[in-house]
């Protein structure tokens, strides 16, 4: 009997030497969580792949698409699985090639992971190849640069047959690179920055600073929608929201107008660093891109960075806006980010922000208000929402749990 299942390829994990099984196990765990809406009965490692089987033994393109979004997945093939009987795998190869779309040339690549199977791969290549030539008389065999390769792989008592595979997002399974706190606004950049570090295996904990109570909570809703859009990839464990409006007003009254943004950002970074320590996260992440706006000059980046000791990762520092927007479209956040909402960044904006801040002036302004008490009170006011799609996320115990209000249903505001 021939069944249909998904074969997941993950070449980058293969590079990890003796950590390989940790990576593979994490990928299997993450796939279980990401595919909970499907009737999946088995996810298992076999001979360099992960296979995903469904109850109806007829895996769909929809299932393959969900798998492709999971970090660590290099490619996904909808494969046929049959027994070792050659008539079965020849028939499966004909079906697989028939579904491969437009092509002019093909080759067969037989593999054997069970040495007990008596046929040699050369013999299998010939057998399947000649059957395919007969079934597709107008197609050419090209062993060097074929348009399509039909793989016939014998593993234990089964044969896996596939011709086409579609690329996944690549990267590494979430949970293999520790945890980061990402500064998330509802703009285009920071959702992409979050996704990028998530794709490299980091568990992401975004923190959003809203202008509440001086603005509506629209930006919080947009951030929630952004995290919902990222959730199927399993990169986000929890979203924190910090109502920052009142404190921004205090800062705007205390410091020179041109330095306001730098002060807001320093406070934001310090609050994020505090949350990161409570979370056990090892780095902060922002969506900055060099020179994109006034606050993203080297001087201003340095002036803000000076407020924290934890590494600040800026995965988009060398990206152009168009590249970022294209990526945002791929990950499903672009449409949400194209809606504008006042957040803490649009509140109390100076007319002429400093573009080349001098450190002594920055530090002088910094000392002109009680930033320590401010950071403390902001950390105390955080709200959050958890995202179960990230199986490796563990919430911090202790302080946060006891004192902080869970967003229920979300920020308490009307949508």
Q: Min. distance of Cβ 321 from ligand ATP in angstroms?
A: 8
Structural contact between residues 251 and 281, judged by C-beta atoms closer than 8 angstroms? no
Among 184, 205, 341, 382, binds ligand ATP (CB under 6 A): 184
Structural contact between residues 30 and 173, judged by C-beta atoms closer than 8 angstroms? yes
Structural contact between residues 345 and 368, judged by C-beta atoms closer than 8 angstroms? no
Contact range with ligand ATP by CB under 6 A, out of 39-47, 93-101, 225-233, 290-298: 290-298
Dist. CA 4–CA 160, nearest whole Å: 9
> Cβ closer to ligand ATP: 35 or 239?
239
Question: Which tokens go with 111?
Answer: 């593999």
Q: Min. distance of Cβ 206 from ligand ATP in angstroms?
A: 8
Dist. CA 89–CA 111, nearest whole Å: 13
For residue 282, what are the contacts with CB-CB under 8 A and spacing of at least 6? 178, 179, 180, 276, 310, 311
Question: Which tokens go with 10?
Answer: 């993950």
Q: Min. distance of Cβ 345 from ligand ATP in angstroms?
A: 4
Among 72, 171, 175, 187, binds Mg ion (CB under 5 A): 187
Interface with ligand ATP includes 343 (CB under 6 A)? Answer: yes
Contact range with Mg ion by CB under 5 A, out of 5-13, 52-60, 181-189, 250-258: 181-189
Interface with ligand ATP includes 221 (CB under 6 A)? Answer: no
165 binding partner (options Mg ion, ligand ATP, none; Cβ < 5 to 8 Å by kind): none
Number of residues that bind ligand ATP (CB under 6 A): 21
Q: Min. distance of Cβ 114 from Mg ion in angstroms?
A: 55
Question: Which tokens go with 325?
Answer: 């927007």
Binding-site residues for ATP, in ranges, read 183-184, 208-209, 265, 287, 296
> Cβ closer to ligand ATP: 172 or 181?
181
Query: What phi-psi label fits residue 412: left (phi over 0), alpha (psi between -120 and 50 degrees) or beta?
Result: left
Interface with Mg ion includes 191 (CB under 5 A)? Answer: no
Please state whether beta strands 105-112 and 3-9 pair in parallel, antiparallel, or not at all (unpaired). Answer: unpaired
Question: What spatial distance separates the first Cα and last Cα of the chain, rounded to whole Å?
Answer: 53
CA distances from 107 to 11, 104, 173, 218 (A): 22, 11, 32, 55
Contact range with ligand ATP by CB under 6 A, out of 14-22, 101-109, 180-188, 195-203: 180-188
Interface with Mg ion includes 185 (CB under 5 A)? Answer: yes
Q: Min. distance of Cβ 295 from ligand ATP in angstroms?
A: 4
Contact range with ligand ATP by CB under 6 A, out of 5-13, 19-27, 41-49, 179-187: 179-187
Interface with ligand ATP includes 300 (CB under 6 A)? Answer: no
Question: Which tokens go with 363?
Answer: 């530090």
Dist. CA 36–CA 232, nearest whole Å: 10
208 binding partner (options Mg ion, ligand ATP, none; Cβ < 5 to 8 Å by kind): ligand ATP
Nearest to 163 by CA among 195, 128, 194, 211: 128
Q: Min. distance of Cβ 71 from ligand ATP in angstroms?
A: 20
> Cβ closer to ligand ATP: 108 or 347?
347
209 binding partner (options Mg ion, ligand ATP, none; Cβ < 5 to 8 Å by kind): ligand ATP
Dist. CA 38–CA 236, nearest whole Å: 21
Secondary structure (DSSP) of 284-331? EE----TTSSGGGSHHHHHHHHTT--S-EE-TTTT--HHHHHHHHHHH
Site for ligand ATP in 247-276 (CB under 6 A): 268
Contact range with ligand ATP by CB under 6 A, out of 50-58, 77-85, 184-192, 373-381: 184-192
Count Cα neighbours of 208 within 13 Å in the Cβ-side half-sphere. 31
Contact range with ligand ATP by CB under 6 A, out of 56-64, 66-74, 252-260, 342-350: 342-350
Question: Which tokens go with 60?
Answer: 């769909």
**Where along the sequence are the contacts to ligand ATP (CB under 6 A)?**
183-185, 187-190, 207-209, 268, 286-288, 292-293, 295-296, 343-345
């Amino acid at each position: 009997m021939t069944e249909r299942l998904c074969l997941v390829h993950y070449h980058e994990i293969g590079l990890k030497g003796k950590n390989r099984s940790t990576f593979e196990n994490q990928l299997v765990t993450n796939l279980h969580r990401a595919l909970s809406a499907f009737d999946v009965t088995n996810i298992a490692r076999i001979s360099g792949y992960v296979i995903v089987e469904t109850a109806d033994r007829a895996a769909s393109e929809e299932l393959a698409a969900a798998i492709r979004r999971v970090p660590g997945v290099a490619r996904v093939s909808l494969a046929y699985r049959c027994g070792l009987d050659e008539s079965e795998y020849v028939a499966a190869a004909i079906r697989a090639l028939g579904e491969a779309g437009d092509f002019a040339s093909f080759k067969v690549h037989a593999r054997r992971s069970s040495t007990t199977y008596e046929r040699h791969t050369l013999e299998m290549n010939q057998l399947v190849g000649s059957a395919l030539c007969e079934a597709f008389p107008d197609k050419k065999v090209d062993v060097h640069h074929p348009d399509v390769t039909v793989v016939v792989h014998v593993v234990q008592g089964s044969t896996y047959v596939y011709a086409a595979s579609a690329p996944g997002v690549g990267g590494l399974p979430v949970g293999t690179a520790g945890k980061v706190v990402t500064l998330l606004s509802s703009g285009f950049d920071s959702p992409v920055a979050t996704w990028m570090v998530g794709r490299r295996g980091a568990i992401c904990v975004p923190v959003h600073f809203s202008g509440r109570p001086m603005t509506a909570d629209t930006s919080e809703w947009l951030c929630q929608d952004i995290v919902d859009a990222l959730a199927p990839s399993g990169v986000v464990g929890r979203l924190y929201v910090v109502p920052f409006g009142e404190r921004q007003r205090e800062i705007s009254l205390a410091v020179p107008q041109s330095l306001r943004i730098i002060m807001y950002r320093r406070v934001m970074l310090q609050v994020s660093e505090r949350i990161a320590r409570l979370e056990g996260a090892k780095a902060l992440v922002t969506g900055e891109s060099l020179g994109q706006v006034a606050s993203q000059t080297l001087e201003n980046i340095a002036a803000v960075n000076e407020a924290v000791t934890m590494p600040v990762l800026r995965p988009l520092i060398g990206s152009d806006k168009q590249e970022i927007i294209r990526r945002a479209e791929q990950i499903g956040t672009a449409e949400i980010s194209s809606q504008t909402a006042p957040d803490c960044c649009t509140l109390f904006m100076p007319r002429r922000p400093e573009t080349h801040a001098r450190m002594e002036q920055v530090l002088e302004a910094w000392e002109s208000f009680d930033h320590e008490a401010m950071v403390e009170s902001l950390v105390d006011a955080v709200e959050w929402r958890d995202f179960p799609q990230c199986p490796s996320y563990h919430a911090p115990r202790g302080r946060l749990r006891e004192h902080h209000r869970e967003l229920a249903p979300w920020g308490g505001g009307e949508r």
